């Protein structure tokens, strides 16, 4: 890398840092403002602070990107050539495990030259925000259902004349490298009525370690 | 002849026939009058509550929701806001949203997607101001998630107390059940005082100030969709949702029945219900079936939907499907 390029990069970093700090300050201020605003300010969706609407999958880097981080893959991949297989990784992507059925090649999805975008059948580029189109290359029925609202979650308004309806994208719920939906811990259930007859006997996993049933 | 002789034999002295006061009849009589007294005391209970300040004269004499003048309702809602502030430490913003023109709600749930995580049941509690003893107490939630063996829809063998370490369990599937907002609602027919009825957008609502707490509706409901307030709801001020509606999620008084209203405080403002907004798998679809382009209409036309307990003839607005 030339001196010119390095300087450019360092100024970019500095810019990023400023943006990061600024947005952190802004976020802090908005939290303060929310805390002081009278409860139930109508209209705004901040009424939903009591609901956990986060998608299941913490998208890596998304928070950073929101605060100004560009996440430019070409910073490294300008010099490092693309590979079809996920082989031995030297530094980056070591935490990656590819468990996507018969889709075993990096370049099935990632563009061989421009690593910031995805690749279509004909080698053309699919922008990062259009990731749904990439998944639709193979998962046609799911893509159709998603378009029609039968797959994936909506948030916001059912009546789009009154507010926005937000569709979650594929990768907000499915890890593209390991797309099967993960098992999760259930939240607490209802309690068995104290004065009722004993909890019915069950054949399954509940049996071991719980012999008090049926008294 | 024979009968005459017999009756002559059986004729008893007048004291026996009149049953003079014996120990037994005295006790029986006093027990009966005690029961009667208890009834009188119970009937007068609203007056006692009035005396204690738990009930205002206005609430006691309040008319049925449908017969209230607009300004009366607004005054009542202002009073309820003040009451909530006094009792729970937070002043809500109470509204009375009316059904929209050309809107009929319906709900669909994808059983292939549901994993039984119970996030909907907990969100229901956070949204609708039900009573709870602690943060994990969802006994008053309007949603019960049934765990069933794969291969059949056997509700009788289902378990909603499941406590496995992770969900979904192998060989199990999960079916959340809540109010189905039936077109032919047995609960509405069972109510002796018309405190519950169906509105034009299909939502079955309860006038909590008119409900007498007889719980006939709970017995009539085939989906276990209604909950009874055995006591004054316990709620921390931080747990109160200030976005309240008169016919849905305002904090209920003791002794009345409450139920799912498809979150009408949200849905009549155009928003999605709370249970849908938190679903991690996107198993829930909600919308207006009178809109031909709505997502819910797409489901009803293209997926093989079915309704729970179709044979009881309730004709629900809640549909399940596998895909």
Instruction: Tell me the three-class secondary structure of chain A, residue by residue.
Output: CCHHHHHHHHHHHHHHHHHHHHHHHHHHHHHHHHHHCCCCCCCCHHHHHHCCCCCCCCCCCHHHHHCCCCCCCHHHHCCCCCCCCCCCCCCCCCCCCCCCCCCCCHHHCECCCCCCCEECCCCCEECHHHHHHHHHCCCHHHHHHHHHCCCCCEEEECCCCCCCEEECCHHHCCECCECCCCCECCCCCCCCCCCCCCCCCCCCCCCCCCCCCCC
**Subunit contact A187:B323, Cβ cutoff 8 A:** no
pLDDT band at B2; cut points 50, 70, 90: very low
β-strand partners of B286: B107
**Subunit contact B282:A51, Cβ cutoff 8 A:** no
- Residue B208 is assigned to a structural domain of this protein: yes
**Subunit contact B282:A151, Cβ cutoff 8 A:** yes
B238 and B109 fall within a common domain = yes
In a mutational test of the A interface, the residue from B277, B300, B304 whose CB has the highest number of chain A CBs within 10 Å is B277
- Tens digit of each residue's pLDDT (9 = 90 or more) over B11-68: 776 666 666 677 777 788 788 888 788 777 777 776 777 766 667 777 778 899 999 9
pLDDT at B150 over 50: yes
pTM score, two decimals? 0.78
Asked if the C-beta of A206 comes within 8 angstroms of chain B's C-beta atoms, the answer is yes
B218 and B166 fall within a common domain = yes
- Residue B14 is assigned to a structural domain of this protein: no
Q: Angle at which helices A140-148 and B295-302 pack, to 10 degrees?
A: 130
pLDDT value of residue A63: 54
Please confirm whether the linkage preceding B168 is cis (ω < 30° from 0).
Answer: yes
Asked if the C-beta of A185 comes within 8 angstroms of chain B's C-beta atoms, the answer is yes
Q: Which of residues 21-60 of A touch B (CB under 8 A)?
A: 39-40, 42, 47-48, 50-53, 55-56
pLDDT at A163 over 80: yes
Which position has the higher pLDDT, A71 or A4?
A71
Q: Mean of the per-residue pLDDT values for chain B?
A: 90
B-chain CB neighbours of A39 within 8 Å are 90-93, 242
- Residue B27 is assigned to a structural domain of this protein: no
Asked if the C-beta of B91 comes within 8 angstroms of chain A's C-beta atoms, the answer is yes
- Residue B254 is assigned to a structural domain of this protein: yes
β-strand partners of B198: B204
Q: Mean of the per-residue pLDDT values for chain A?
A: 74
- Quote the percentage of chain A above a pLDDT of 90: 37
pLDDT band at A28; cut points 50, 70, 90: very low
- Give A127→chain B minimum CA distance, Å: 25
Could you count the other beta carbons within 10 Å of the beta carbon of residue A77? 17
A-chain CB neighbours of B298 within 8 Å are 148-150
Task: For strands A165-167 and A154-156, give the pairing.
Answer: antiparallel
- Show which of B95, B130, B162 is a domain's final residue: B95
Domain boundaries, chain A: 1-29+58-71
- Taking residues B105-125, report their average pLDDT: 96
- Taking residues B3-18, report their average pLDDT: 59
Buried b or exposed e, range B146-174, using 16+ CB within 10 angstroms = bbbeeeeeeeeebbbebebeebbbeebbb
- Give B16→chain A minimum CA distance, Å: 47
Nearest CA in chain B to A174: B281
A-chain CB neighbours of B162 within 8 Å are 186, 189, 206
Asked if the C-beta of B120 comes within 8 angstroms of chain A's C-beta atoms, the answer is no
B74 and B109 fall within a common domain = no
- Kindly tell me the burial class for residue B113, based on how many C-beta atoms sit within 10 Å of its own C-beta (0-12, 13-18, 19 or more): buried
Among B234, B205, B231, which Cα is nearest to B217's?
B205
- Give A56→chain B minimum CA distance, Å: 6
- Give B17→chain A minimum CA distance, Å: 47
Domain encompassing residue B78: 45-95
- Quote the percentage of chain B above a pLDDT of 70: 92
Among B318, B305, B220, which Cα is nearest to B276's?
B318
- Mean pLDDT check: name the lowest of A44-53, A61-70, B111-120, B205-214: A61-70
pLDDT at B3 over 70: no
B176 and B256 fall within a common domain = yes
**Subunit contact A157:B295, Cβ cutoff 8 A:** no
- Quote the percentage of chain A above a pLDDT of 70: 61
In a mutational test of the A interface, the residue from B271, B287, B291 whose CB has the highest number of chain A CBs within 10 Å is B271
Asked if the C-beta of B316 comes within 8 angstroms of chain A's C-beta atoms, the answer is no
B-chain CB neighbours of A52 within 8 Å are 119, 123, 278
pLDDT value of residue A68: 64
Quote the CA–CA distance of B136 and B127 in Å, as a whole number: 15
- Residue B283 is assigned to a structural domain of this protein: yes
Quote the CA–CA distance of B267 and B273 in Å, as a whole number: 6
Could you count the other beta carbons within 10 Å of the beta carbon of residue B177? 21
B-chain CB neighbours of A150 within 8 Å are 110, 285, 295, 298-299, 302-303, 323
Asked if the C-beta of B89 comes within 8 angstroms of chain A's C-beta atoms, the answer is no
When divided into structural domains, chain B yields a total of 2
Among B49, B96, B59, B83, which Cα is nearest to B235's?
B83
- Residue B257 is assigned to a structural domain of this protein: yes
B139 and B211 fall within a common domain = yes
- Location of structure tokens 């059925």: A101
pLDDT band at A70; cut points 50, 70, 90: low
B196 and B126 fall within a common domain = yes
pLDDT at A167 over 60: yes
* Dihedral of the alpha carbons of A169, A174, A177, A182, in degrees to the nearest 10: 170
B-chain CB neighbours of A202 within 8 Å are 159
B89 and B225 fall within a common domain = no
Residue B300: which CATH number? 3.30.70.20
pLDDT value of residue A128: 86
Asked if the C-beta of A188 comes within 8 angstroms of chain B's C-beta atoms, the answer is yes
- Residue B39 is assigned to a structural domain of this protein: no
**Subunit contact A189:B118, Cβ cutoff 8 A:** yes
pLDDT value of residue B276: 97
B165 and B305 fall within a common domain = yes
Q: Which of residues 205-234 of B touch A (CB under 8 A)?
A: none
B177 and B57 fall within a common domain = no
Quote the CA–CA distance of B99 and B93 in Å, as a whole number: 19
ipTM: 0.80
- Residue B218 is assigned to a structural domain of this protein: yes
Asked if the C-beta of A155 comes within 8 angstroms of chain B's C-beta atoms, the answer is yes
**Subunit contact B282:A205, Cβ cutoff 8 A:** no
Task: For residue A51, give the nearest of B123, B160, B270 by CB distance.
Answer: B123
B91 and B211 fall within a common domain = no
A-chain CB neighbours of B93 within 8 Å are 39-40, 42
pLDDT at B162 over 60: yes
């Amino acid at each position: 890398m030339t001196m010119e390029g390095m300087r450019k990069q360092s100024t970019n970093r500095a810019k990023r840092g400023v943006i990061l700090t600024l947005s952190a300050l802004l976020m802090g201020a908005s939290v303060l403002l929310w805390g002081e605003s009278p409860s139930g300010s109508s209209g705004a969706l901040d009424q939903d602070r009591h609901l956990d609407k986060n998608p299941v999958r913490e998208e890596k880097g998304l928070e950073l990107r929101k605060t100004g981080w560009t996440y430019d893959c070409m910073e490294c991949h300008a010099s490092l050539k693309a590979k079809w297989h996920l082989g031995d990784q030297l530094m980056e992507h070591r935490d990656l495990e590819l468990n996507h059925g018969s889709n075993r090649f990096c370049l099935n999805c990632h563009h061989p030259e421009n690593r910031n975008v995805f690749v279509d059948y004909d080698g053309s580029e699919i922008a990062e925000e259009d990731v749904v189109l990439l998944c639709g290359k193979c998962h046609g029925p799911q893509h159709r259902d998603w378009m029609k609202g039968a797959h994936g979650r909506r948030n916001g308004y059912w009546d789009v004349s009154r507010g926005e309806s937000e569709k979650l994208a594929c990768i907000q719920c499915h890890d593209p490298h390991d797309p099967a939906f993960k098992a999760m811990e259930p939240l607490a259930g209802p309690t068995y009525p104290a004065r009722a007859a004993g909890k019915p006997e069950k054949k399954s996993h509940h049996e071991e370690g719980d012999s008090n049933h049926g008294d | 002849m024979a009968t005459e002789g017999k009756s002559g034999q059986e004729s008893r002295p007048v004291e026996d026939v009149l049953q003079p006061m014996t120990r037994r009849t005295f006790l029986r009589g006093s027990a009966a009058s005690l029961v009667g007294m208890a009834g009188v005391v119970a009937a007068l209970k609203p007056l006692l509550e009035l005396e204690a300040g738990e009930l205002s004269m206005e609430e006691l004499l309040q008319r049925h929701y449908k017969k209230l003048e607009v300004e009366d309702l607004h005054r009542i809602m202002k009073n309820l806001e003040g009451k909530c502030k006094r009792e729970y430490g937070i002043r809500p913003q109470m509204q009375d949203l009316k059904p929209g023109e050309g809107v009929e709600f319906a709900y669909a749930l994808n059983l292939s997607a549901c994993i039984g995580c119970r996030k909907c049941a907990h969100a229901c509690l956070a949204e609708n101001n039900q009573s709870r003893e602690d943060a994990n107490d969802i006994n008053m939630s309007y949603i019960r998630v049934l765990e069933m063996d794969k291969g059949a829809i056997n509700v009788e063998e289902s378990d909603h107390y499941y406590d496995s370490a992770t969900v979904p369990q192998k060989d199990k599937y999960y079916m959340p059940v809540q109010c189905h907002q039936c077109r032919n609602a047995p609960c509405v027919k069972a109510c002796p005082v018309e405190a519950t009825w169906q509105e034009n957008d299909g939502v079955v609502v309860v006038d909590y100030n008119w409900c007498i707490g007889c719980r006939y509706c709970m017995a009539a409901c085939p989906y276990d969709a209604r909950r009874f307030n055995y006591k004054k709801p316990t709620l921390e001020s931080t747990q109160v949702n200030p976005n309240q509606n008169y016919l849905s999620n305002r904090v209920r008084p003791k002794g009345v029945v409450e139920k799912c209203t498809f979150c009408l405080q949200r849905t009549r403002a155009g928003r999605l219900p709370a249970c849908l907004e938190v679903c991690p798998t996107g198993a829930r679809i909600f919308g207006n079936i009178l809109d031909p382009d709505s997502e819910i209409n797409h489901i009803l036309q293209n997926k093989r939907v079915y309704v729970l307990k179709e044979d009881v003839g309730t004709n629900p607005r809640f549909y399940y499907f596998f895909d």
